[in-house]
Amino acid sequence: MLLLAFDTATPAVTAALLDTDGGVVLAAEDQIDARRHGELLLPAVDRVLRTAGVGKEQLGALVVGVGPGPYTGLRVGLATAAALGHALGIPVHGVCTLDGIAHAARLAGLQGPFTAATDARRKEVYWASYDAAGARVDGPHVDRPAEVAERLGQVPAVGAGALLYPEVFRDVPAGMPEHQSAAALASYAAAELAAGRPLLAPTPLYLRRPDAEVPKNYKTVLPA
């Protein structure tokens, strides 16, 4: 089956096409631009399919990163996936974005346990931790880096969120992925599906409530 995967929950705009028979990545594209997910995603999907010589009607399923991640970018991927799935009549699976990064770290040779972290802005990180077998055992959460260290002690950490706070995440192994890659996301999803484990619903993991100020009680205009 042909699996199209993409993720816009981090500064990366990343798309990949995987043939689940044999687990071959037929084409992939990664761009890092935190501000232009909306402009970049669909052209990237189009190029990936063209490079692979695959028509969209041949796709068997979609996989989309459901975050956590900055909301505006995150929703670009989810809205795109939902509409593509609806129009093409194929299933849309969600994968936690941190699971994709963790999978890429293991492919790069990292043994667990370790933590994957991305930038949550406002001096916080999105993070999850993984055991020796690569299973997510804690998270995803959003916290201040110091709180994460307090909770986990010093374990190896990967991802842009770990690189951003070296004073807290002191063990960041070299050669590990910094950003999300849809190729890793796709191969993780294919492995999970093959193992008969269900993936997530394609709905966002926001982890924070929307910012919304309830206006104070009506203030008088006349001087008191």
Site residues for other proteins per CB under 8 A: 38-43, 45-46, 56, 71-72, 75-76, 78-84, 86-88, 203-204, 206, 210-215, 218, 220-222
- Gap between the Cα atoms of 79 and 64, Å rounded: 10
CB of 66 to other proteins, least distance (A): 11
- Cβ closest to other proteins, residue 4 vs residue 104: 4
CB of 91 to other proteins, least distance (A): 13
CB of 68 to other proteins, least distance (A): 14
Q: Are 110 and 176 in contact (CB under 8 A)?
A: yes
DSSP characters for 87-135?
Answer: HHT--EEEE-HHHHHHHHHHHTTPPSSEEEEEE-STT-EEEEEE-TTS-
The answer for residues whose C-beta is within 8 angstroms of residue 161's C-beta and 6 or more apart is 116, 117, 118, 119, 120, 125, 126, 127, 145, 169
Record the tokens describing residue 128, joined without a space: 């999850």
Distance of CA 116 to the CA centre of its chain: 11
CB of 222 to other proteins, least distance (A): 5
CB of 8 to other proteins, least distance (A): 9
Backbone angles phi, psi at 68, to 5 degrees: -70, 155
- Cβ closest to other proteins, residue 72 vs residue 111: 72
- Cβ closest to other proteins, residue 136 vs residue 206: 206
- Cβ closest to other proteins, residue 167 vs residue 211: 211
- Cβ closest to other proteins, residue 167 vs residue 213: 213
